[in-house]
Amino acid sequence: MSLKLSFQCENANGAKVACDTPQAIKYQYIEAQICQNRACNRVQREVYRYTEGGPLEKEQNNGRFQTVRPSFNGVIYVDGGVESLEGPGRNGNQPTPALASFAQITVAASGTIRIQGDLTYEIPPCTSPSRRNPDGTITPANCPNSQAQNILGIYSQDGDVLIGENAPDNVQIHATLMSSSGVVAVENYNRTRARGTAYLLGGIIEKYYGAFGTFNSTTGQQQTGYGRTFVYDPRLRRGLAPPFFPTTGKDQVLAVTLFAYGQREQLY
């Protein structure tokens, strides 16, 4: 199973238009590639879409869309693993946003989920990462869009949440990542070349610590995998959460561990 999230705006005739076009209809798209046998050399493609407050529609063989549910609750569940979860790719070096401004989605699976591409919001709550200044002080992330509503959760019940080997250098992920019984980590983190920085806007919940890369202890130079720049999504502390996310409604935190900037999770 592979999943791709994207959005686009269309006019009443179904033609793609700029989203600031009068009467443009904005659709969130969900594309699934489903293996039909163990070898996965036969694949079934299914495409779904929905608008804000509108029905969930499925693309038919004639290319038209037909309503399959009166509404979409935001949960995409996979009984098994997700070999590839990604957005629509990049325009130059910049990720093309994957979640429309109204989209609230949880991708949940019983097995391991591999993130193989950028996953970003149309309206991210934060527009810049935190950074260390030459004098050693930290400039926090700039988060001017606190009312943004697009949000993504990625949850594995019995597997891991991995940044896969096909993910791009300096991958950007806007999501809360959770592994109930495993790790959130980089796949083969110690056997790949240095791949820049993993930029995460959201949060991480994991049972065990997951590694992202290795560094030379003498020089501090990155050797394999990714470095980390993590920004906690400030909307999470105010109660916004991905649909039906496992932590929704929990009011107790058993432990909080803070690490130095540039090493692990950061909390502001």
Confirm whether pTM is higher than 0.75.
Answer: yes
Give the model's pLDDT for residue 255.
44
Is 153 contained in some domain? yes
Is 135 contained in some domain? yes
Is 53 contained in some domain? no
Is 254 contained in some domain? no
Give the model's pLDDT for residue 133.
86
Is 52 contained in some domain? no
Q: Indicate the number of domains in the chain.
A: 1
Containing domain of residue 170, as a range? 73-238
Is 27 contained in some domain? no
Burial label, 238 (beta-carbon count in 10 A; 0-12, 13-18, 19+): exposed
Give the model's pLDDT for residue 249.
57
Is 20 contained in some domain? no
Is 67 contained in some domain? no
Report mean pLDDT in 10-residue bins for the chain, 268 residues.
Answer: 97 93 96 85 92 96 95 94 97 96 96 98 94 85 95 97 97 97 96 95 94 92 94 92 79 43 36
Give the model's pLDDT for residue 131.
83
